[in-house]
Structure 1
Amino acid sequence: MRDTRTDPAPVPAGALFLTCLKVGSLSFGGGLTGWLHREFVQRRGWVSDDDFSATLAIAQVLPGANVVNLVVCLGEELRGPLGAVACVTGFLLPPVLSVLGLALLFDRLGQFPAVEIAMLGIACAALGMLLQICWLGLRRAKGSPRRLAVIAAVVVGVTVLKLPMILVVLLVAPVSVWLVWRRG
């Protein structure tokens, strides 16, 4: 998390808006968390990997779309309420306009096989970015049996036991917090 006492220059709201506008404009069909990670962590260094992961975890627990929650939380962390508004506005503007335009386009071109093939390719790229985020999380956890146990509990709960995600989070999150607290 950003410490305003040691870092008095917050990220400009315009930079947050333009970054989220870029992500909202260029990402299509999913993989948004991967795009946001690349922009906020890898390219701009506005937040660390650990802060991004913690913010993502909070965003996933909150009601609503995880990725929208994520940009709101990142914007608020980096610039306060103005940052949250800048991020969510920049992030949602392109998809809203795109959906309206694509609805008209698909209404006229949806029956062509090339459109279906293109959409499949985009979906595969998005899945690849999601897998990258999962892989990074596993790499960070590899030295910690506790972290790996938490990841395994979530995977088993959701995929094997078919429990609702919110129930798994409510069961596993307190254990995870306790394990980190106990370590410190």
Structure 2
Amino acid sequence: AQFDTIDAATEQIFPKTEVGPGAKELLVAYYIDHQLAGSFGLNSREYMTGPFFPAEAVPQQGYQTHLNRQQVFNLGITALNTEAAKKFDEKPKFADLTEEQQIEILKDFEADKVKLSGAVSSSFFFTLLRKVTIEGVYADPMYGGNKDMAGWKMKNFPGHQTNYMNVLEKDEFVKIAPMSLNSQHQH
């Protein structure tokens, strides 16, 4: 159920268009799941000892919380589903809503109109969700997202080439098929 909520939310942040696939097809929710399961999700490389001040008290310090990213996502996912049930009578889950309804809720999160239980704001959760969605679209596929390097193909990004010697002297733009770190290990 958590996966379905994130899968739906990321698709609204990075939807499928005529240019290319959206977050669902790019497996962004898998990328996020993998990131949250590791040191990123546990904030294991960050200072996590108080005191924690509200963002408005010390704006140059940014948002501060004792919660790790896994906990922030748990609160955010619960709030997305609670807001879906509150706003729309049928009491559906966020993933069951129409695109327009999902976007309406996400905009409310972005504008900090939704109160989350715990020590984070809905805008903080939305900013974090948007950040990891974009990462999942463009990160190397070895991390779980950017399926078939389609995110890179949309940007004509060549990925991790071993070198560019054959194109350095060319005057025109050279389109290079992207290569991920995984594909280099297979050669």
Instruction: Tell me the TM-score normalised to structure 1 length.
Output: 0.26
Instruction: Tell me the TM-score normalised to structure 2 length.
Output: 0.26
Higher helix share: 1
